[in-house]
Every structure is written in C-alpha cells, then in structure tokens.
Amino acid sequence: MFFLLNGSQVGFQYGTREDPLLNTEPRLRFEEDLSAHVDEVLGSMTTELVSALRDEMELELLLDAARTAQVDGRPLVGLADGTLIRWMIRGMNNEAAEERLIARYTEYLQAFQQDQLPLASYVSMPATTEVVNLLRFVVGELAVPAPKDLTVTPDTPPLQGLLDRHVFDAILEPG
C-alpha cells in the first residue's frame, strides 16, 4: 500500500516586482515505511494518519518558505492552509504514534517561534469551536494545565456552549 503527499509553497513580497516563490513537492510514502504509525485496531493506514502526515509536511514546507522569504526590514507572516490545531491526531488508535506526531508537529511550531516568524491560519467553519477551545485552554477550562502566568480562575466554565461565530460576531464587522 502507498499514498502520495503533495505539499505546495507560495511566497510573495507585496509592493515589489520580485518573482514569487512557487513550488510543489510530492512525496510517495509506503505503508511499510510507516509501520510505527499504523492503526493498531484496524491494522492499516487511516485517513487521520495520512491527514496528520500531510499537515506535518505542509508545516515543514511553510517553515522552509518563511525562512527563505525572510528579508531584513520587511514584515513576514506564514499563512497555513487550514487550522493549526491538530485535534484529529487524538482520535487515532495508536497512542505512541499520536505522541510522535504531536511531538514532531510541535517541533515545527516551536521552530517558527524560535525564528520569530509569525504563523497564522484561518477558521473556515465558524460553527465550530477551534477559537473557543483555544480560549478555554488559556483560561484553564480544558483538562490540560493552563499557562503558568494565568491569573484567571473561573468558578464556572464561562465559555461552555460558545461557538467561534459568537466570538467573531462580537469583534468583527459584517462582511
């Protein structure tokens, strides 16, 4: 069994006549090369695993593009295609693979931070709770430790039932 991961890079400088960076990188992957990631219950590759590997590759390529495009005195932001939050990784049936995938993905995020390269993505489904879950993490409502500097300690979860669109409705103008 095999599958193809295809990642793309696009980089351009506003206000210049410089050529843009346009690149695509295909990677052919074979199941036997990824045996440590195979789903223990299904005994095969899953769509979640392929998606996680593609997201990891895209973040790797984005980091490379951001480093390549960086020019002193010019602002830069890396824009990811889709969410930066990898919720689907926790749905796999292989805890060791989950941990490895999350660790590698986190290494790429930390590299953006260490290189002081801002990273952003977009929210395409406002009826979801990606932004709200990030806020819930910051205020300590999730079952993971809150940031050390946090001073908010709510008695009741103030964000329960809130959707991303409610947050955006409160801060963004229509359009």
- Model confidence at 109, pLDDT cuts 50, 70, 90, reads very high
Please give the pLDDT value at position 152.
53
pLDDT in tens, 7-55: 998 888 888 898 988 999 999 988 776 665 555 544 566 777 788 888 8
Query: Domain limits at 169?
Result: 125-174
Instruction: Supply the pTM of this predicted model.
Output: 0.74
* Per-residue pLDDT reduced to its tens digit, 133-154: 778 877 877 666 555 665 555 5
- Annotate 128-145 with DSSP letters as a single string: S-HHHHHHHHHTT-SSSP
Q: Looking at the structure, do residues 112 and 129 belong to the same domain, yes or no?
A: no
Number of structural domains found in the chain: 2
Q: How far apart are CA 173 and CA 175, in angstroms?
A: 6
At a CB cut-off of 8 Å and minimum separation 6, what does 57 contact? 5, 7, 25, 27
Cβ contact 47:18 at 8 Å:
no
Instruction: Say if residues 141 and 129 touch (Cβ distance below 8 Å).
Output: no
* Alpha helices (runs of H) in 41-158, residue ranges in sequence order: 47-69, 95-114, 130-138
55-84 pLDDT, tens digit each = 899 999 999 999 999 989 899 999 998 778
Among residues 124, 142, 159, the one where a domain terminates is: 124
